Structure 1
Amino acid sequence: RPDALRQHFSDILSGMYSLGGQPDTAIVQQRIRLHPAFESITYKGIPDVRVILYRNEPAMAMLRLPTKASGGRANLHQGGIGTGIDLDSGVTHHAVQRNRFVERHPDTGWSVIGMQVPYWKEVLEMARRVARAVGLGYLGVDIVVDAEAGPMLLEANARPGLAIQIANGRGLLPRLQAIDALLDQPPRPVSLPRFRKAAPVPGTLRKSA
């Protein structure tokens, strides 16, 4: 309600929630709207995608789903679900809650395996752009998918943790080694085709005067 919102802003500015009761500043952020693709596998909150990038290339990704146990927050340590995502297709293939394998969302009963993350190519491209802008060799990029605006950046993490390995059911090292092998291979020499001089067509040569 407008009146309640106005009062809440007034309380913030007056310092009701600040240390020592000092005047404070209110920050208004855009509301993220739940994408319909996630309605059956989330509880109250907004899911997000974490992409681990190594040398600006996606190495691993997971979808974090809010649950009742996590208080509607997409936080694995508080009881949210982590679902590993296939990098090529954007489809979830493995899921854990509190480090235990799960197939269905505990609050909705819907399967969390085999779900297509919307705007997957755009999510990966946004993660790459963030990695190039930040300039770190290894980082995690958190992205949400808004119902209307599509992929939106939440934040970038210099220490994104290793729980993403459990969510995917596999380790990071082989993927990092594969990226190294891909980026460190010497460039292939380019051989240009040789053009032979065209042979004269019989009967077309003329003797110069």
Structure 2
Amino acid sequence: MIVNIINYLEETVAKFGKKIAIEDNNGTITFLNLREEAIKIASEINLLGVAHNQPIGVFLPKSRKSIISFLGINYSGNFYAPLDIKSPNERLDRIIEKLSPKIIITNLEGEKKLREIKYSGAIINLDKTKLEKEQWAGTGYMYEYQLIMNPKDERVILDDKRQFFKSYEKYVIHTVADLQDLKDNKESIKTLLENPSGKIVFKSSDGKCGAGVKVASAKDFDENSIITYMANNQFDLVEEFIIQHPDLNNLSPSGVNTVRIFTQLDKNNEVVLLGCRQRISVNLPIDNMAAGNLAANIDEHTGKITDAGVYSDITKEEQTIHPITGVPIVGFQVPFWSETLIMVKEAAKLYPQNRSIGWDIVITENGPGFIEGNHDWCKLLWQLPAKKGLKSVLTSYLK
């Protein structure tokens, strides 16, 4: 049974895919091509990270592009809101303010008008070249790329935090133990519980993006209760809570602000830095972008932040100073930068079967250390702070 316009289009494509769907002054388009173009729009919407059931504006003249946009918005799980291109700026501004669309789909002329009224959300400009749109590495491309660079049967030392800490022990500067370590060596429990922060962090060895993490007071545990607690709550890893460098704590004290460095081994097994980013917590105990925090580009040569911090929600304003602490973001010097680069470049060569890794690094008063290495590193953290698509950078390593 047909329940919506997408079901109708899918059934029509199945039956009459090569028949003409639209005919206008620009020629004809088949149902199959109509569907393909709509899905491209949907992919671009999804790449921008908009949740489902959100209004998305369409600021276009009546044309095949507007129809494709309506369908693409439906495919993305959102609903479209047509905006009259003849509306005076003042009226258009009021409508947009009330509607609050995260994205507006338009053309070059429409984008100019939206800029005039200072629309701050995302714009998908259909007049932009196909090449420009294809410069962004999307989810599918990243999956295939990382599968080639980091084969499934080699990823375990990155996927399992227990193995990661053992494999890269030389570069870990905080106390870490898995459940079996604690059972075998009670002395390691004493070291953990007496760490300078007075706190410990329970984790799942396969957790991602801050999931499966619990921060607790060390004084609430002893050598027996900590083992029982971990077993009962499905934690298999525990670490000392890391005290970050005072400069980073001054920038944002709510969470430990980690550095992410993306490394790539070239055909000669030499290390190439694909990018360096500073994560910045915004009144949250974790620092990942998905939770609503900032990330900013770091100059790999100087260790200084070069640009404003950005959110994964691109409709939110960039930040040149921290919105809570007021500390400048642009120009911030990451401590121990040369030591950080030396560590990362050494580690990237240690197990060359994994060729493309996103390293999470903590900077303390005593220098840098690893938190984890990611075989499936985030495309948004890599590209959004750079403010451009970087797909071509990766393509060169597939040759």
- TM-score under structure 2 length normalisation: 0.39
Work out which of the residue numbers 386, 391, 395 in structure 2 matches 1:168: 386
Work out which of the residue numbers 82, 100, 103 in structure 1 matches 2:320: 103
Q: Which moved more, 1:33-42 or 1:8-17?
A: 8-17
Change (3 A) 1:175 1:122: farther
Secondary structure of 1:93's partner? coil
For residues 94-151 of structure 1, the C-alpha deviation after alignment (integer angstroms, 9 at most, x for no partner) is: 210233422121111222111111111111121111211132221111111111x201
* Shift in Å, 1:43: 3.1
Q: Which has the higher contact order (CA 8 A, sep 6+)?
A: 1
Q: How do 1:177-196 and structure 2 match up within 5 A?
A: none
Q: Distance in 1 between matches of 2:260 and 2:298?
A: 10
Are 1:53 and 1:138, in contact at CA under 8 Å, matched by a contact in 2? yes
Secondary structure of 1:37's partner? helix
Residue 37 (str. 1) matches residue 247 (str. 2): yes
Secondary structure of 2:384's partner? helix
Q: How do 1:192-207 and structure 2 match up within 5 A?
A: none
Work out which of the residue numbers 285, 296, 302 in structure 2 matches 1:72: 285
Q: How many residues align?
A: 172
Matched with 1:47 is 257
Residue 159 (str. 1) matches residue 376 (str. 2): yes
Q: Distance in 2 between matches of 1:63 and 1:26?
A: 26
Matched with 1:129 is 346
* Shift in Å, 1:168: 2.4
Q: Distance in 2 between matches of 1:152 and 1:63?
A: 15
Q: Distance in 1 between matches of 2:243 and 2:218?
A: 19
* Shift in Å, 1:75: 1.1
Q: Distance in 2 between matches of 1:113 and 1:159?
A: 28
- Shift >3 Å, 4+ stretches: 4-7, 9-12, 24-27, 173-178
Matched with 1:84 is 297
Q: Distance in 1 between matches of 2:345 and 2:246?
A: 25
The residue type equivalent to 1:47 in the other structure is N
Secondary structure of 2:328's partner? coil
* Structure 2: gaps spanning 5 or more residues: 1-192, 195-216, 266-270
Measured on the aligned residues, the alpha-carbon RMSD in Å equals: 2.8
Change (3 A) 1:37 1:158: same
Are 2:276 and 2:297, in contact at CA under 8 Å, matched by a contact in 1? yes
Change (3 A) 1:6 1:34: closer
Are 2:230 and 2:236, in contact at CA under 8 Å, matched by a contact in 1? no
Change (3 A) 1:19 1:31: closer
Percent identity for Structure 1 against Structure 2? 23
* Larger Rg over CA atoms: 1
* Structure 1: gaps spanning 5 or more residues: 185-209
- TM-score under structure 1 length normalisation: 0.71
* Shift in Å, 1:18: 1.8
Change (3 A) 1:88 1:7: closer
